[in-house]
Amino acid sequence: MKGMGDVAKRMFMLFRALQEGECHAGEELAERFGTSTRTIRSDVARLRALGFEIVSTPGPRGEYRLTRGRTMPPLFLDDDEAVAAAVGLAVIAGTADPASPIAGGAFDVAAARALAKLESFLPERLHRRIAVEGARIQPLLSLAPPVDAALLVTVTRSIAARFLLKWSAKTREGLIRLGFFEPYRLLFRHPHWYVVGFDRRHHAWTLQRLDEVDAAGPSRRRFDPRPLPPGRRDDLIPHVYHGWHDAELRVHAPLRDLEEALRHEAAEVDALGADDFLVRIRGTHRHALLMRLALHGIEFRVVSPAAFADDCRRLAEKLARAAG
């Protein structure tokens, strides 16, 4: 039994070494673990039998490297990695609406399942660390419709392989829209997932919310990436989505309050005086920004665009009517 224990321990250490992502010479590994190159070859064969994809080069100084395989093999994490993974999964799982019926493939539900598997193997000392770290983070309830995890995988694979994406999506007017799409990037802007790409039917760059997609799959027809619209890559989102715009505001508020209100925005802030700032915001959703500023009690005046000032007036009229 001791011999079997030594083999298992050595295989575990060998895997941890290969997991570093570098190439390791057989002689180096043999010296590191106090064994022979022949034994290292046997241990590599055992790891391959367990599902780990390990490539090697022949010869007396042959090297070994761990690569991606077709299946998901067992995963080994150190203490810090395990705690970070558990806290991250807990945050994602905690954004689901517990009162809503959620499909079993939803991303937040998948995170909850993964967290349960991880926690079942964690020692007590790591459970205590996770409890401490998790207590510092309070995810806000997301009322956004869930996105199926399989759909995210389909989109990312299509982006990587440059496959046309075919799908049916329901518009906000309730109509079903079919399309072939050249996916470029998968985006997350709280609380929604989007894919940006070129819509072949409408011959235009566009942005599609994934929770509005009913069915999607790669077409197995490849496409050649086309040039992005004029401008920098950062200009792509406001270029393709009509609801996101640049805005310029004159703000009168303490800097700490302003930072809190704009923490999710790409903003440039110029100080003009005490609690007096000129704020330029790129690619914002006007209505969401307006509500955020109002809820934080921020005093501001719209410099541009004029449509944002119109939004403020309409909201003020509605609130005045609501107050009677």
Out of 3.40.50.720, 3.30.470.10, 3.30.70.340, 2.60.40.3880, select the CATH number for domain 244-322: 3.30.70.340
197 vs 172 pLDDT, higher one: 197
CATH fold of the domain at 2-67: Arc Repressor Mutant, subunit A (1.10.10)
What residues have CB less than 8 Å from 123, skipping those under 6 apart? none
Q: What per-residue confidence (pLDDT) applies to 191? A: 62
| Residue 62: count of CB within 10 angstroms of its CB | 16
Tell me whether the omega of the peptide bond preceding residue 225 falls within 30 degrees of 0, making it cis: no
Q: Which of 213, 224, 209, 229 is nearest to 166 (CA)?
A: 213
| Residue 63: count of CB within 10 angstroms of its CB | 17
230 vs 105 pLDDT, higher one: 230
| Res. 171: pLDDT tops 80 | no
| Res. 5: pLDDT tops 70 | no
Mean pLDDT of the chain: 76
Out of 2.30.30, 2.30.29, 2.60.40, 1.10.10, select the CATH number for domain 149-226: 2.30.30
The mean pLDDT value for 289-296 works out to 81
Domains of the chain by residue range:
2-67, 79-135, 149-226, 244-322
pLDDT digits (tens, 9 = 90+) for 236-267: 555 444 455 678 889 998 888 888 887 766 67
| Res. 216: pLDDT tops 50 | yes
285 vs 194 pLDDT, higher one: 194
What residues have CB less than 8 Å from 184, skipping those under 6 apart? 159, 195, 196, 197, 198, 225, 228
| Res. 138: pLDDT tops 70 | no
Q: What per-residue confidence (pLDDT) applies to 107? A: 66
Q: Is 181 helix (H, G, I), strand (E, B) or coil?
A: strand
pLDDT digits (tens, 9 = 90+) for 175-205: 566 778 898 888 776 567 788 888 888 888 8
